[in-house]
Amino acid sequence: MADDPERLVTDALRAQATSTNAGFAVPVPIADEGHAHLPVWWVLGLALLLGLAAGTVAAVITLS
């Protein structure tokens, strides 16, 4: 084995690349969740209500 650090790194990377399946992974199916959209609508609705409330407070402060 050579003492050259670049050669050692090259050999190690080559050994790692040949010992694995070279990046080809088996795809894993992801379960489809039917209720995943409900929390998004709740968050959007709450953001809308908070925005309206903040706008109302800003309008009352500005106009008074």
Question: Tell me: the pLDDT tens digits for 18-62?
Answer: 766 656 667 777 776 666 566 888 999 999 999 999 999 999 999
pTM value is 0.42
Does residue 2 surpass a pLDDT of 60? no
Rounded mean pLDDT of 9-23? Answer: 74
DSSP 40: H
Rounded mean pLDDT of 5-26? Answer: 76
Answer for the pair 8, 2: CB distance below 8 angstroms, yes or no. yes
Tokens at residue 40, please? 């998004």
Higher pLDDT, 3 or 33: 3
pLDDT score at 64? 83
